[in-house]
Chain A
Amino acid sequence: MTKTITHPYLPNTNSEIKTQMLKEIGIESIEELYQTIPDELRYTGKLNIPEALNEFELKREVGNLLQENKGTNEVISFLGGGCWQHFIPAVCDEIASRAEFVTAYAGDEYEDHGRFQVLFEYQSLLAELLCVDVVNVPTFDWGQAAATAIRMASRLTKKREALVPKTIAPERLKIIWNYCSPDIEIKLIDYQEATGELDLTDLKNNISGQTAAIYFENPSYLGFLETQGEEISRIAKSSDVITIVGVDPISLGVLESPAQYGADIICGELQPLGNPMNYGGGQSGFIATRDEIEYISEFPSRLFGITPTSQEGEYGFGDVFYDRTSFAKREKGKESVGTQTSMCAITAGVYLALMGPEGMAELGQTIMQRSQYAMKKLNEIEQITSSYFNNVSFKEFVVDFNETGKTVAEINQYLLSKGIYGGIDLSEEFPELGQSALFCVTEVHSKADIDALAKELRSFL
């Protein structure tokens, strides 16, 4: 007879303790506890799942599985478009892997004072970058943050249309569509062919008595900067339309905050601030506004505030205006709240605390220098135009391969064989750009990386 091995994750399964517990309950077998489940609903088979592995076997098995991946750390990758490769300080990883934080959940302020404080600090640090007074405990991602910002604007104005530029990230647009339907209609606004920026005539033509909000992105999905922010928000304001700007916060060491050119609501993505890409599992969104009760009332998210305690000189933290939320009011609350992405926000807070004002400015400069260098190097290749748009960009830009006679798919396949992940193929997302790709260059790309890309493109084309 083989010895039964007690599973290390499962106490109370050895027969002695089990018998004792059953006796205290007053029953003879665990089966009696399932009497409420009718026979017809009982699953009597054995689950068709592989037999248990011990820890050593598990490490080998999953380790082998992961070996079938080739990470961006093993190649040179120019993929971006909403999830970006950035330098992650070791302290971010250290804090993000602390068991105290990793395994905490929804405790109150007395058990989890630290959790409340780090999230309040995250709100406060991001607020400095954004120049606003209110930042939420995060949403799922930028797309959902943008959708919620639009829904907030719709509730504030009691209007049911929102305008977004055609250059919006397709992933985000899909999320916005789904989150806003059936209540809010999303209308796409044309862009200027030369620069990619919003077509203000089309914007004005589309503003109506039903328009709740204009949403645009800066930097845009296609990398260029929207330089007309002030004018867009002026046009919006004159029609009582709310201006929402989506932003990549890592740009704000060198770029002006949207709050300075008229944004009423700012949203964006926290992944670049110290969070690993994790195949898209590192996404996390934020929403920020002014400290005005009308705006704060419309947040679905938790908002942590600061308070004194009964002990002088001690900080406490807790939920501000909890009665807004679906936790308090179910379907009568604002949208819904639940588990979202707090750990990514904590990490973003650590990141900003480490970087400080100098770090963010230097980082922004490095990204702009390297991306401009990459644009220049690629533009030197005869059949390539880099970038497609005549505009300033931050860390991403559209490379025009239309004159090469090759598809982006073919080019990327070649680059892949040389250990390079080329830019995102835009030929399906933006057919009007033909064979073009979105390249991302950040502070992690050395001159040698960029030169290698140019060299391989030359030799293929």
Chain B
Amino acid sequence: MLQELYDPDRIKVPMKRTNPQKGRGVDPKFVPITWDEALDTIADKMMELRKNNESHKFMLARGRYSPTTTDIAYGTMAKVFGSPNNMSHSSICAEAEKFGPYYTEGYWGYRDYDLARTKYLVIWGCDPLSSNRMVPNTINKFGDILDRGTIAVVDPRLSAAGAKAQEWLPIKPGEDGALATAIAHVILTEGMWSKEFVGDFKDGKNLFKAGQTVDEAAFAEKHTNGLVKWWNLELKDRTPEWAEKVTLIPKDQIIRVAKGMGKAAPNVAVWLGPGPVMSPRGAYPSFAIHALNGLLGSVDNEGGTLRNSKVPKGKMPSFDAYMDAVAKEYSKKPKIDQRGRKEFPVIASGKAGSGVITNNIANAVNAADPYDIKVFISYWSNFNFSCTGADRWDKAMAKIPFFAHITTNPAEMTQFADIVLPAAHHATQKMSIIDNKGNLHAHLSIQQPVVGRLWQEKADETEIMFLIAERLKAKGFPNIYDYFTKEIKDPETGKNPATAEEFAEIVNKIYSMPAWKPKEPLKGDKLDGWDDFKKKGIYNSEPYEFRKLWGKFGKEVEKDGKKEIEGTVTKKFEFYSETLKMALQGHADKHKTTIDDVLQASGYLAKGDMAFVPHYEPPKRWGDEKEYPYTFIDYKSRLNREGRSQNCTWYQEFKKVDVGDESWDDVIKINPVDAKKLGIKTGDMVKVTSQTGSITVKAKLWEGVRPGTVAKCYGQGHWAYGRIAAKDYSKFLPRGGNNNDLMPDDYERLTGSTARNGGFTGVKIQKV
């Protein structure tokens, strides 16, 4: 953070492009300009859209953000202006992780795990010692879990967690659904499911025998739905012997782990990460892996998988009154990311077409389908680097006639900007409210400036949005500014903001007020006003209460006068998901077709009832095994810190803490058996080629990857960003290679997620 803050390559002042040509490797010839000129240019470009009745061709995209401004700036700028296109980065994050929890227990969100009490922790497709949620808390508890019980890690490459765990299951990439269903098979045939949560056979005799169907009427379920259906449709044939052939994990290990989990139940946490799910057919592994928590009764239970407790958050005033006729009409245009089309159901939170498909924006822009984008503002994003199929973004960004980038560093995406605005560093130079969870508490914390600003940088989500609104008013479009200055009031003094800085502070106050000035006393921390909140920096909720959800995984609620179901349709934990059936039916109805057709269009193989139970489907792979014999594994660095640390010398110096990596370098890890066949030794430069791209990086022989797979950490390969991140900034030369230049753009279409994992990229390797 310190090195990011004092990074010499930070942008000090606004700048503009003087070279009209745009492309990767084309010098934008940036020159410094004043804030005045920068804001004028942006406002003029936006006003032009309004004048020409094409305000929907405005797009605002965010990368890192604080929830503070979701409703206020990010949520209003585009809409009040008259565009449906406020686009979040979230689906390049890990939306597919939420699929399993939602369609089993009705929860769309990241989970917390009770690490202090768990006796068997299964870490599936992530390395929580390096990334994913609440890393320090996991690090803190990890050693004690190893004392108390067992940790099993399912990961095709040796991760930090895998290196420490008692069990490492180096699964063949993408075959996670087979392993999960086989574990479920063993738990059932061994009679180790949670009787308390799932229920039992009426006569107490276990009828789950491999290959044999069971009469649904013989089993009395408690808090779950459809166990026997799941068994009959899928699990009865998912023997460990079968799974060994598919996953390459020895059957003895599958049985040992499954029995270990069963024995420790319900104090078992199956930690679902992005690895098995951020892949073209990732929704069902997400479903299958999370369902194991249901089988073991560890959902909402001690030592198990939890949701977050709630933290109170303030509401922003309505902007309806500021929506003029143009805004009302054009903000209803279809969104640019093509969500909701037949092949993109994106049934986030059970509603079709409700999630963003960030990475598809490039395709939509390139095809001008549903239309073209003419003015684009984005903050703290770097899609030309962070999205798979990065070259498509190079084309798209070259095509968009006007782009303003709000960024700390001259990133890859910045190279396509017409105007660049210097962003304050998020953690040290601006105020925002963050909500998070972990260790059985939910938190509302405040990030406050700890140092002054060095240059002319400003806070992206608040101050800069205010300044643009102010400039739009000067050019004849006052609505956003009027909303900001008339509706937004300091909750203590009632004063409206007059400046960008005041606006920034007031929105943070509104958002966090229920924590420091609650209407009724809260069960968590007691805070005495805004200053006390600022001093303490955090509100901690009361600790999680276990088993409150049992029997209540769904409920009926009234929304806009209509009855709706919040959570699961059956109110139970669903192995046979009526909730999924309803969501898919909703999407199919919209397109006047069948669920089978929708799934086929989304790349899935399931037909009929199989679609509603967790089941195995073979992974989709780009490139046949003959031409592209190696399966590429992408994973996260423990030092990436959301991909903004590569210009720090400390990142480079300690790159080696990523298991198997080398400092100041970017190595692809190859099993020595494969390397021998290829005639490659450590230190050789190799060209790695997929169907859609190639990179040239250094090879490292490494026993931590399975023969037939190669692994490379994501993070390096910057051809811009700064003097440390890039090998030569002025010549656009990357340090190493970006995995996103290699991996094609593909999607998990039920959630809109960008595929990154699950062995979907085949590569060939040549020595250069």
Task: Say whether A and B bind each other.
Answer: no
Residue numbers of B with Cβ under 8 A of A are none
Residue numbers of A with Cβ under 8 A of B are none
